Amino acid sequence: MTGSRVRIAVADAPAAGEVRLVELDSHTIGLYRVGDRYYAVADRCPHRGAPLCSAGRVVRGITLEHGNPTRGAALGLLRCPWHKWDFDIATGRCLVQPRLRVRRYRVEHDGDDLIITLQHPAPEAAAASEPDRLALTP
């Protein structure tokens, strides 16, 4: 089964820490760059439906890798504007309620373009390899 797709030139993609909103089949999707990777997430907080990408913001946080805390701007945490809950952009997982996840979409490189596919969430295997993140932000 193939889903609806949108193609975006890498040159038009957001810089690190910024968002580019994309409309696809009446869905608003936020495209983010974290380091050298791109992530696409739904513009809807799974907690209460707040506009997560269009009104939320990327925040700094602390990641714990092998018990060692590291602070940085490239951690990819999205903060909901309504209740200030943080979501990991890479995994979609909410740091306050880990069972809640923001919907993610597959992002693929195709030459000088990025392709976002609507109906296929990103593989969960990537989530298993990501370190747990703890949102301690200014």
In order of 4, 15, 28, the CA distances from 25 in angstroms are 7, 25, 8
The Cα–Cα gap between 65 and 71 comes to: 11
Residue range 65-111, pLDDT digits in tens = 444 444 444 467 888 888 888 888 888 888 888 899 999 999 998 98
In order of 44, 45, 51, 75, the CA distances from 41 in angstroms are 8, 10, 11, 15
The Cα–Cα gap between 43 and 52 comes to: 5
pLDDT at 133 over 70: no
Number of domains in the chain: 1
Question: Is residue 135 helix, strand or coil?
Answer: coil
Would the pTM of this model clear 0.75, i.e. be above it? Answer: no
Give residue 88's domain range. 5-134
CATH number of domain containing 91: 2.102.10.10
DSSP for 81-101?
A: TTT--EEETTT-BBSSSTT-B
